[in-house]
């Protein structure tokens, strides 16, 4: 425990306490995941680069617009599995190992735990997202128009992904069920979501569902920050994503506030 916390043993609130707790929690999380963090980062980068190339193998020669669509979907595809799959799995491991209750006994605000998870899983996802975009742009010889919107877009996508993962990880009591949910999410995202290909290809009912679900909108905000003229009504997507963030936070907040 850092000295900053010990200095105020009676005052366990306020921004100073929160920050000190955040720093301590970040160090705790990093230290406890050090055995797999580096390996996982490398695998993540390889997967990101691999996916961008694999889609091309399946499609053969493709028109420039298809290639641009594919390349600008790659960062979103790299961000989602980390927050939505890896984070709940990491929480499930704590439950299996019996360290879960200990985690909650640490003298930090619960929002600190959430913020620390968000920070780590976002940082872990960013290299993979960047590499997959770079590899795709190089392989398909694309010209991208990077705007500063890429920062809020990527952060928002990662925030929702980690919030959903955090909520699922904590709300679902049985690690086995967490595992099943996680795999279903990955399956739906990788195979049946309009992230790397246009929503126009989807049958009507599935397209309608995706206008409510967050995945298409996540791809939209990232794509809008990387291209010009490919995405319309990006404001709408930001609104939908804002609503999803709020909803997942309410869910996560409810999960964390429960007394046991």
Partner 1 sequence: MTAASPPIVDLRSGPGYWWHSYRLMVRWELTALRVVLPVAAMVQILAGAGFVLSLGLFFGQVPPRAALFVSTGVLVITLVTIGLVLGPQLIAQQKAEQTYEFLWSLPVPRTTAALAWVTTNLILGLPGMAVALVVALLRYDLDLHVSPAVLPAVLLTLFTGTMIGYAVAHALGNPLLIAAITQLLIFVIIGFSPINFPADQLPGWLAAVHRWLPLAPMADTVRAALTEGVVTNVIRSYLVLGAWAAASVGVTALVLGRRR
Shortest gap between Cβ of 58 and partner 1 (angstroms)?
Answer: 5
Shortest gap between Cβ of 160 and partner 1 (angstroms)?
Answer: 22
- Are the C-beta atoms of residues 1 and 84 closer than 8 Å to each other? no
Q: Which is nearer to partner 1, 19 or 208 (CB)?
A: 208
Q: Which is nearer to partner 1, 146 or 208 (CB)?
A: 208
Q: Which is nearer to partner 1, 105 or 201 (CB)?
A: 201
Q: Which is nearer to partner 1, 186 or 255 (CB)?
A: 186
- Are the C-beta atoms of residues 71 and 52 closer than 8 Å to each other? yes
E strand or H helix at 73? helix 64-81
Q: 163: closest CA among 212, 199, 127, 114?
A: 114
Shortest gap between Cβ of 51 and partner 1 (angstroms)?
Answer: 8
For partner 1, the binding residues (CB under 8 A) are: 47, 50-51, 53-55, 57-60, 187, 191-192, 194, 196-198, 200-202
Shortest gap between Cβ of 66 and partner 1 (angstroms)?
Answer: 9
């Amino acid at each position: 425990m850092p000295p900053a916390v010990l200095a105020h043993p009676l005052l366990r609130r306020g921004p100073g306490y929160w920050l000190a707790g955040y720093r301590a929690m970040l160090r705790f999380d990093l230290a406890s995941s050090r055995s797999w963090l580096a390996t996982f980062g490398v695998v993540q980068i390889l997967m990101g680069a691999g996916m961008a190339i694999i889609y091309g193998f399946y499609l053969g020669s493709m028109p420039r617009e298809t290639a641009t669509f594919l390349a600008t979907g790659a960062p979103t595809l790299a961000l989602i599995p980390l927050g939505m799959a890896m984070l709940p799995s990491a929480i499930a491991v704590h439950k299996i190992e019996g360290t879960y209750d200990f985690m909650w006994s640490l003298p930090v605000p619960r929002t600190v735990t959430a913020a620390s998870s968000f920070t780590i899983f976002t940082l872990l996802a960013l290299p993979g997202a960047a590499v997959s975009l770079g590899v795709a742009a190089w392989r398909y010889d694309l010209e991208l128009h990077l705007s500063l919107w890429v920062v809020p877009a990527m952060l928002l996508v990662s925030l929702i992904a980690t919030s959903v993962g955090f909520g699922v990880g904590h709300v679902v009591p049985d690690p086995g069920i967490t595992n099943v949910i996680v795999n279903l999410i990955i399956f739906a995202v990788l195979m049946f979501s309009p992230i790397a290909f246009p929503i126009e290809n989807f049958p009507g009912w599935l397209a309608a569902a995706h206008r409510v679900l967050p995945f298409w909108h996540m791809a939209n905000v990232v794509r809008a920050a990387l291209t010009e003229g490919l995405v319309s009504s990006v404001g709408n997507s930001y609104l939908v994503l804002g609503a999803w963030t709020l909803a997942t936070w309410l869910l996560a907040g409810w999960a964390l506030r429960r007394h046991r």
